[in-house]
Amino acid sequence: MQWIEIEVLTSREAAEAASVIFERYGATGFVIQDSSDLQRSWESRYGEIYELNPADYPETGVRLKAYLPVAAWGKGMLGQLAAEFKGLIKFGLDPGPARVEARIINEEDWNDNWKKYYHPVKVSERLTVKPSWEDYTPEDGEIVIALDPGQAFGTGTHPTTALCLQALEQLVKPGATVADVGCGTAILAIACAKLGAGSVLALDLDPLAVQVARKNIELNGVSDRISVRVNDLLAGIEEKFDLVVANILAEIVVKVIKDARRVLKPGGNIIVSGFTRGREGQVCQELQDNGFKIVSADSSKDWLVLVAESLV
């Protein structure tokens, strides 16, 4: 089978939004090549091992690659994608060059092009994320999340996902009830269940993401504690939760915050990520305006995670 490999050269702050655009076009699998990774001093507190080839990275900015079946590629899509990437400036994001290229590759090449970047990664003191096709022997006390990303975003390698996992490790208590909004691969929902949550509701607007989430939930043996369904954020959700987590774009996060106060139990927490420092003020203000007290913040490569407590 042949695929269309599409790549865009963009800025670091627009990379997450660019991946969402690719998803809307039905992209399957992502490769993120961030030029700053070559200069970064990688933390070793979790024992990560990184093997970076400079030839795989752009000189500046971020190169994002995505994959579409040839049959899904239509005339004019290259121009449409370029226009959407450049249009990110309307959302306060610097799109960078927003240069888009596309080429036909064979399925074997597609597998090599993204799977070779995805290996077991220890993202916190206890949590390690591994691809479903690789063997991995955990150490005592280590919790392993096995994933097959399929057509959903979220493998544990993006800074926002890792930041959320680290926050969840600190916040999830035995028997806790959790809502994962915009669940993607269900990586965060699975982490909650393996950390001891009693029940997790995983929600995503994309039916394909929900399919991938269900497969990953079953793969990890936590189907008894996680329910997943198609839903528009928290609209219509009546259950009450100890914790809500949302790792999505800043303009979507602010919508989640408004509903989170309604579904959280008194003193419950919300974890929000998916935005850079440029949007921190907007998100913080939204939290405060909706009755939340910010209790912690962490960052990685300009990406942020905020933890807040409901005061009502």
Q: CB–CB of 128/121 below 8 Å?
A: yes
Compare 229 and 138 and report the one with higher pLDDT: 229
What is the CATH architecture assignment of 2-115?
2-Layer Sandwich (3.30)
Q: Is the backbone of residue 274 left (phi > 0), alpha (psi -120 to 50) or beta?
A: left
pLDDT in tens, 142-180: 999 998 765 445 566 678 888 999 999 999 999 999 999
Q: How many residues does the chain have?
A: 312
d(CA 301, CA 272) in angstroms, rounded, equals 16
pLDDT in tens, 47-83: 444 455 676 778 888 999 888 888 888 888 999 999 9
What is the CATH architecture assignment of 121-310?
3-Layer(aba) Sandwich (3.40)
pTM: 0.69
Q: What are phi and psi of 67, to 5 degrees?
A: -135, 135
Q: Say if residue 222's pLDDT is above 50.
A: yes
Closest CA to 235 of 263, 211, 209, 193: 263
Show me where the domains of the chain are located: 2-115, 121-310
